[in-house]
């Protein structure tokens, strides 16, 4: 239940920001994509920040937090190759 309340709160916050920017939902495609990119990058602030507070540089913190895989996602066809490698190692 807590996750739903947090999700609703995040949605309300985004709605307020959209209202302040005079953007109506559903947003135009470019605005929506920029917002999604902001969400993905924003999710990485805490893990990267923790690494940096521990004394790691930003590039190393980004890599150690595995941010690229999260932000960019797995490309089509990569899942099957990753599964094949996992099975081969077993």
Q: How far apart (Å, rounded) are the C-alpha atoms in residues 67 and 61?
A: 9
How many domains does the chain fold into? 2
Same domain, 31 and 54: no
Do 7 and 33 lie in one domain? The reply is: yes
Q: pTM of the prediction?
A: 0.50
List helix spans (H) across 1-90: 2-20, 29-43, 45-53, 58-64, 67-72, 78-89
Q: Tokens for 8, please give them.
A: 């609703």
Does 66 share its domain with 38? Answer: no
Identify which of 49, 66, 67 has the alpha carbon closest to the alpha carbon of residue 57: 49
Look at residue 88 in the predicted model and tell me its pLDDT. Answer: 57
Q: What is the DSSP letter of 25?
A: S
Residue 66 sits in the same domain as residue 80: yes
pLDDT beyond 70 at 26: no
Domain of 36 in residue numbering reads as: 1-43
pLDDT of 54 > 70? The answer is: yes
Q: Are residues 39 and 54 in the same domain?
A: no
Q: Give 76's DSSP letter.
A: T
Name the residue with higher pLDDT: 58 or 27.
58
61: burial class by Cβ within 10 Å (0-12, 13-18, 19+)? buried
51 and 89 both lie in a single domain: yes
82 and 52, same domain (yes or no):
yes
Q: Are residues 39 and 78 in the same domain?
A: no
């Amino acid at each position: 239940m807590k996750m739903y309340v947090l999700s609703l709160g995040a949605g309300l916050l985004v709605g307020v920001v959209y209202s302040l920017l005079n953007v109506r939902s559903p947003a135009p495609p470019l605005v929506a994509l920029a917002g999604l990119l902001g969400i993905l990058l924003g999710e990485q602030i805490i893990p990267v920040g923790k690494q940096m507070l521990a004394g790691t540089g930003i590039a190393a913190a980004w890599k150690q937090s595995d941010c690229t895989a999260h932000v960019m996602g797995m490309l089509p066809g990569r899942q099957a190759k990753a599964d094949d490698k996992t099975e081969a190692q077993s």
